[in-house]
A and B are shown apart, each in its own frame.
Chain A
Amino acid sequence: MTRPELWLVFVLMGIVTVSLRASFILLQDRLALPNALERALRYVPAAVLAAILTPALFRGAGEPLLGLEWFDTRVVAALIAGVVAWRTRNILATIAAGMAALWALAWLLG
């Protein structure tokens, strides 16, 4: 792909992406949703965050434990991070705990 073509791709991608992001925000009155649907949107964050999280978590990128491919060091580290998240509701603490747990597990197994 030539560089002009490459940049054409970037611009087209950018247009598509910002159109999706702006869709309802800019076209509010024309894309009006019925009330029930609007109330349902309240659950978008929970549903989407979980849907993004689980495939990334269970893809077997860590070292497998108990002989299971999907139950690996990352899953355990995430469980530990989850407890920290639940207790502290602190994003930084959660990330730090998760990374520390992952490294600790890697060190213990290595």
Chain B
Amino acid sequence: MLAGVSNERVAFVQGLKDSVPVLIGIVPYAMIVGVAAVAVGLLAVDVVGMSLVVFAGASQLAALELIGRGAPIVVIVLTTFMINLRFAMYSAALAPQVKDVSLLVRTVVSFALTDQAFALTTIRMRDQPDTPRSPYLLGVSLPFYFVWAAFTAIGAVLGAQVPASWQLDFALPLTFLALLFPAVRDRPSLAAALAGGALAVVLRDLPFNLGLVIAALVGVGVGAWVEVLRDRARA
């Protein structure tokens, strides 16, 4: 058996499988984005295009609101940058692990880096450290890419016909909750989560999702600090 090739294929398929339960969380969110897009005058084909080109829900939602308000293009692009800054953190965290693949693969893999793909990849890497990173990342993000585009379009077409009382949008925070538990394995990561989570609520009213980025950075710092304290205590 060609161990190298089959390992990569296995990793890719594992990624596909791992993505399935988390896909459920983005379906309602995608439909909400579709509805919001139509509300500011986009056609379904524009919505699909936006989802295929941007592939980032929070920034799409913010941009749609700005488009509806007639904001200048520069403002929309800057807002996108601020809201999606967290992706740079994901990039930094994963970069050492995707060093050994070609530039082309790295570029494609980068395009796929969403919140959920990053979280699932990190968890899988901890459970099975030998998993080839790039094939796994591709496998775990591919379904999201299509589901996202498809359901933003479906949301645009169906409009507001799904009752808000079902509260289906709660599925998205639930997926983050579900992903948080495997991500918190020890005291430093617990500290990181508590700090990040608490600060994010305190800073929630800052513009451009700045609260999120600041809270995340502080959370990372707290985690690293607790790790240092823990190692010092053990030494």
Q: Give residues in A with beta carbon < 8 Å to B.
A: 1, 3, 5-14, 16-18, 20-26, 28, 31, 33, 36, 38-59, 61-62, 74, 77-78, 81-82, 85-86, 89-92, 94-95, 98-99, 102-103, 106
Contact = CB atoms under 8 A, between A and B. Distances in A.
B122 A23 contact: no
B103 interface: yes
Contacts of A74: 167, 170, 173
Contacts of B154: none
A23 B173 contact: no
A28 to B, nearest CB: 5
24 contacts: A3-B46, A13-B54, A17-B84, A20-B84, A20-B88, A42-B189, A43-B222, A45-B118, A45-B122, A45-B189, A46-B193, A46-B196, A47-B192, A47-B193, A47-B215, A47-B218, A54-B197, A54-B200, A62-B170, A90-B21, A91-B175, A95-B25, A98-B177, A103-B167
A25 B216 contact: no
Interface-centre pick from B95, B111, B118, B218 (highest chain A CB count, 10 A): B95
Contact of B90 (A5, A9, A21, A77): A21
Contact of B223 (A1, A40, A59, A90): A40
B67 A9 contact: yes
Given A42-B93, A61-B169, A85-B178, 8 more contacts: A7-B49, A12-B73, A21-B90, A36-B224, A41-B220, A44-B92, A46-B192, A47-B222
Interface residues of B, number: 95
A56 B170 CA distance: 9
Contact of B201 (A22, A38, A54): A54
Contacts of A22: 91, 106-107, 110-111
B88 A23 contact: yes
A95 B118 contact: no
Contacts, number: 270
B50 interface: yes
B21 A6 contact: no
A61 B92 contact: no
Given A25-B106, A85-B178, A91-B179, A62 B220 contact: no
Interface string B108-123: 0111110100110011
Given A17-B55, A52-B115, A94-B174, A89 B181 contact: yes
Contacts of B129: none
B90 A95 contact: no
Contacts of B109: 25
A33 B88 CA distance: 13
Contacts of B42: 6
B140 interface: no
Given A21-B113, A53-B176, A92-B21, A77 B170 contact: yes
A91 to B, nearest CB: 4
B219 A46 contact: yes
A52 B201 CA distance: 9
A31 B182 CA distance: 29
A9 B71 CA distance: 11
A49 B119 contact: yes
B173 A78 contact: yes
B196 A48 contact: yes
